[in-house]
Structure 1
Amino acid sequence: MKRTNCKIAFNDKLLMLFAIPLLSFIIPIVFFGCRLNRQPYFNVARFFSTFIIIVLLWMVNRYILIWCRKRYPRFSDVRKRLLIQISTMLLVTLLGNNLLHYILTETIFTENPVSVFDTDHLITSNAAAMFCLIMIIGIYESIYFMHELRSSVQETENLKRENLAAQLNALRTQVNPHFLFNNLNTLISLIPENPDHAVDFVQQLSKVYRHILEVKDEKSIPLKDELDVLHAYTFLMKTRFDKNLEVNVDVPAEKLQKRIVPLSLQILMENAIKHNIVSSDKPLQINVFTDNGSLVVSNNLQMKKQVNESTGIGLNNIRNRYKMLSDAPVKVTESETNFTVSIPLIEQ
């Protein structure tokens, strides 16, 4: 596979090998009226002087183009990028063209010297330079735009598939035999000992299932709704693990109308319980709070030696679904004692 600069979007070596000599031949004929059989003659000196100018200006403008794309990579910065890019390329092309013309005619190709103050020559020369610049911008930007459009469409389709997979996996997880087995066993033990608690348990279990069905087609939901189902899920887990599991939620009221990817809190809490020891000797503590526009889920780290097979739901699904909604990344940090996931809160 041919190597390409990711900010160019295609291998432009062949383009330069073809276009630069072609322009070096065309420009003296079209813009300066050079001919092979009469004055002003089109000769080797004309060709190579034009060739040198085009090569230098092409490479400088190519560098400016790459720098601007690296400096302003986001789609929201396209207008700003093009304004800065085109302005810089225009200024560099005009100054560079006139300076190079003067240097070449005064030092190397001196057989047809041109006065610095020759207005007609300056206009023609700069018009030729602008023609090259427009061609460079047109070719590179059109190919780059098509490449970005193709990548965007492909990424959107991939994220849609990820989103659908997350929804299906979430539903599948909640109805898998292990989940039902654990909750039914808990319910069986509650019915004779504490019938009222058993009724509450069934109601909270129903709330979790109902929430999954309601949000399966939603891209984002209010944080308040997600916290409500988190409390229901916490109730189920606390009933099962009792004092061995502690869940602390501290979210200010003004943050409750922010939006969040559905099922993300449940997935993070489920992963924490799944991958860590939950016992009287090593109780698991999960903290949910806000920090700098993000919702943070943190737990003390006490990894199990053997972990059940993954359900397919996890951080990658959360990350990929957030890519459809926000430029802010999902941040994951792990220390010797804590595992923390920070997910962006989305404006309504």
Structure 2
Amino acid sequence: MAYRNRILSKGPKIVAIGGGTGLSILLRGLKEYTSNITAIVTVADDGGGSGILREDLGMLPPGDIRNCILALANTEPDMERILQYRFKEGSLKGQNFGNLFIAAMNEIYGSFELAIKETSNVLAVTGKVLPMTLEDVVLYAVLENGNVVEGESNIPLKNKEASSKIDRVYMEPKISYPVEEAVEAIEEADIIVLGPGSLYTSVIPNLLVNDMVGHIYKSKAKKVYLPNVMTQPGETDDYTVFDHVEAILKHSRKDLLDYVIVNIEKIPEETLEKYKEDGSKPVILTEEDEKRLNNLNIKMIKSNLIEVKKDYIRHDSLKASELIFNLSVRKDKLKKAYS
């Protein structure tokens, strides 16, 4: 174990930016290739247990950060089960114990940033988990029909009701800055990965923080986007790979990305049936997408990236992580050390 940890400590410096389930799944794979991981996580969430704690305690939402901490934690399975436990009865019904743990740490240390660090120390986290900003931000979506939707949790719901695509998203207050450690990690990174995760409510909010796009662009790291494998009802209905990329560039700059990692694996029809009921479809790469990506000098990495667990379609975190790892100039040294 000590030898393995020594090898992983020499791995590429990877910054993963996003939120939701998608980012935490990717992190579980990345930690098998390097321990130099920094996860920068959205704090625009205002729904569920996180939203309740945000409103009641005036703290930033802990849910996405909790999932990322647990993904990078080196702890016993029972501890993870405890921290992921959701109360089923009483006044705590629907609340997650891990969220309450972070809320307690926030009260004890008087700082959300410090609470995350101390929680990470307790759980022996590989790398770092950082919030995208320490500002109490609210996410808004401007729909193509002109309507404006307030609140991260409302965006897919109201958009679905209106049957109108999202034109753009923005945050209030307009002035918000990334935490210093996040900026340092971006500057020192070998690879910066955007996604996977909900396009407008998990990935793009990170790009709306003041100066974040500039820091990413100026970094010498390779910039990679990993879009979801399935469309998200009320958010990315009928989106192809290029539609995802176009939204990222619209909220940043047209020359931000170097690579996009694309799933080309076909999903069994029986697995898709459950998703069809909700209006979710595979995110496909069309011939037109390929031409447009080539015109933008964005390289495509195509692979079979699907993993199905309990009828849920997810990225295969190890395969996706290997593709990201293989973009690093350090890969040959590490492979030699392992052989």
What is the TM-score normalised by the length of structure 1?
Answer: 0.21
> Which structure ranks higher in relative contact order (CA pairs < 8 Å, sequence separation ≥ 6)?
2
User: Which of the pair is proportionally richer in helix?
Assistant: 1
TM-score, length of structure 2 as denominator length: 0.22
Is the radius of gyration larger for structure 1 or structure 2? Answer: 1
Higher strand fraction (1 or 2): 2
